[in-house]
Structure 1
Amino acid sequence: MADRTSPPTERVVAILDFLARHPHDRFGLSELARRLALSKPTCLGILTTLTDSGYLVCDGVDKRYRLGPQLISLGHTAQESMRVDPSAREELRRLSAAFDTTAALSAVIDDRITLLELVGPSDVGVRVGQSYPFAPPVGLMFVLWDDHALRDWLAKEPTIPLRTDSHRLDHVITECRRSGYLVERLTPGGRRLYALMAGMSDTLPQELQALLGEMVSDIGERVYLPGAGGARQRTDISVVSAPVFDHHHRQAMVVSLRIGRAVTDVEIGRLARGVVDTAEVLTRRLSGAR
């Protein structure tokens, strides 16, 4: 039987999602109704209820709406339910400031990759709460340090047709577990991939599958293993990531640092130490262990 949906609830979600995509702007009733294809009476009723509940704020002079303070409490509660320590943001802020780039914390929630926290000096086109399909080849960093999770992930139906070079994948797993971190290459398509995948269902549109297929044809193909080139050789790197473990010794989350430029192996080592140190702090906060 098909899942039942609630059109009235969908309209509420549409308003909140729209305002979340424009956190620094305010919108009047007419503009919101027009941009969301809602009737003015319906839109006004939703706005009034959300404002009375504290989920929106309405400026008294020009009657323009923006997100309200009650969402802060709701967001903190949601993070706590996902085991995100309140101090995690401060740890990410330290990591971000040390390297002047964006730091993130993410996990697999309900079989989707979900961005739990994000700190950075600039807008990177994604926001906290966004989620992505979790199936090969997307998501290796979330299972790389966990044999059970890795087997389950590899057994999933891939998002695109893949070949699997078992020798290469085994080498990637061994080296990343030895070093404690993963380095992902930067490709032109990779700059746009996750922004396009945000909110997508597990069945990707054909054009997105084509983009993913251009980037990856083998699991682990985008992983860069330091030492592959000369000491002075520069490689375009997308992110450096390290695992956070829970008290069951299972991989629970991933700390990532966005690089987005060409760096040497020496620089990668310095970046990786910062990421690993942050992941270890968060592991201790979960009373976890490798």
Structure 2
Amino acid sequence: MVRPAPAASRAVEILYYLTAHPRRAFTLSELVRALGINVASAHAILAVLTDSGLVIRDPVHKTYVLGPALAAVGFAALDQHPSVNVAIAEADRLAGELSLDVYVTAHAGHDVIFLAHRGGHLTGWHSGDPGYPGDRALLRAPWGAVFVAWADNDTIERWIGPSSPDTAERYRHVLGEIRRNGFSVATSAMLAPRIVGALITIRDAPTDAEAQASLTATLYDTAGQPFLLDEVAPDATVHPASIIAPIFDPAGSVLLSLSAAGFHEPVTLSQLHQLGERVRKSAESVTRRTRGVVPSSDARDVHPLC
């Protein structure tokens, strides 16, 4: 396994941190505290990023923000991945049709990154809450299940992480259910204040090991057992936090997802399946329009995700 170069890793951390806080500017000291980087290293890295135009330094306030040169990187990435723009247009259409919030997310290494948000139906939602464009969440159970459902066994086990044997087995059943249905369901338990608070802490201190451990413990204590649609009684109701469907690339790997959220009331099991099927069809439409390949329900990727 190739060892990452520390300077390169820290440069990426700085860019990701600035991306996750698009309306703020940070001093060198603030970046050092948030990311745990040595002052001399941070100064040298920021000098290189500034010289390249990837970061801009305000000479008066001595703060840093993302530079316009990154726009060219973004445009090139959109050319390389046309499914992103197609997915955003589909999210806009789906949000209007269902009167829900619809997100486009992408797999990004060990994280899931939010690329776009269409709708605006979430009451009490603020730009600093988890889920705005540029925000990231750890690709760790139960988040990002659609990104690992078709992955290899090693990737799935890393995603499940430390769990009791029963919980780990339930997560495997969840992934199998996603492969059969073509969509996943996250319940309102995932929006518990402790979980949202832990996510915000991770965003503000992404390299803090204690914050990572706190998030894991909070998930274990708060999220409950993995949710299985097959266990819901036909006459029961469910209050979903979101319904998520995968968008596949030409190799048959999950590149993006469409996620419908903003459910104000519980829905019946039948309604939940209808909504899931609607989101799945939108995601599949993006896949086919961008020459992606939808694998069969029993297909599994032979290549690890991360």
TM-score (norm 1): 0.68
1:288 to 272, 286, 292: 292
The 5-angstrom pairing of residues 179-194 of structure 1 reads 179-187=181-189, 188=192, 189-192=194-197, 194=199
Higher-Rg structure is 1
Q: Return the letter of the residue paired with 2:145.
A: L
Is residue 246 of structure 1 aligned with residue 244 of structure 2?
no
Q: Report deviation, 1:248.
A: 3.9
Q: Return the letter of the residue paired with 1:95.
A: L
Deviates more, 1:273-282 or 1:116-125: 116-125
Does structure 1 retain, via aligned residues, the 8 Å contact 2:245–2:259? yes
Pairwise CA RMSD of aligned residues? 4.4
- Higher RCO, 1 or 2 (CA under 8 Å, sep at least 6)? 2
Q: Which runs of 5+ in 1 are unaligned?
A: none
The 5-angstrom pairing of residues 4-153 of structure 1 reads 4-6=5-7, 10=10, 16=15, 19-25=18-24, 32-33=27-28, 35-36=30-31, 46=46, 53-56=52-55, 66-81=65-80, 84-98=83-97, 99-107=99-107, 109-110=108-109, 112-115=110-113, 117-120=115-118, 121=120, 123=127, 124-128=129-133, 130-144=135-149, 146=150, 149=151, 151-153=153-155
Q: Secondary structure at the match of 2:214?
A: helix
Q: Report deviation, 1:168.
A: 5.3
Q: Report deviation, 1:115.
A: 1.5
Shift in CA distance, 89/161, structure 1 to aligned 2, threshold 3 Å: same
Q: Return the letter of the residue paired with 2:111.
A: I
Q: Return the letter of the residue paired with 1:118.
A: A
User: Which structure has more helix as a fraction of its residues?
Assistant: 2
Shift in CA distance, 142/18, structure 1 to aligned 2, threshold 3 Å: closer
Does structure 2 retain, via aligned residues, the 8 Å contact 1:245–1:252? yes
Shift in CA distance, 191/253, structure 1 to aligned 2, threshold 3 Å: same
Q: How many percent identity over aligned positions? A: 22
Q: Secondary structure at the match of 2:215?
A: helix
Does structure 1 retain, via aligned residues, the 8 Å contact 2:148–2:155? yes
Q: Which runs of 5+ in 2 are unaligned?
A: 33-37, 121-125, 295-306
Provide the residue aligned with 1:262 in structure 2.
265
Provide the residue aligned with 1:210 in structure 2.
217
TM-score (norm 2): 0.65
Shift in CA distance, 55/200, structure 1 to aligned 2, threshold 3 Å: closer
Provide the residue aligned with 2:298 in structure 1.
none
Is residue 222 of structure 1 aligned with residue 222 of structure 2?
no
Name the CA distance, whole Å, in 2 between partners of 1:139 and 1:45.
Answer: 31
Q: Aligned residue pairs: how many?
A: 273
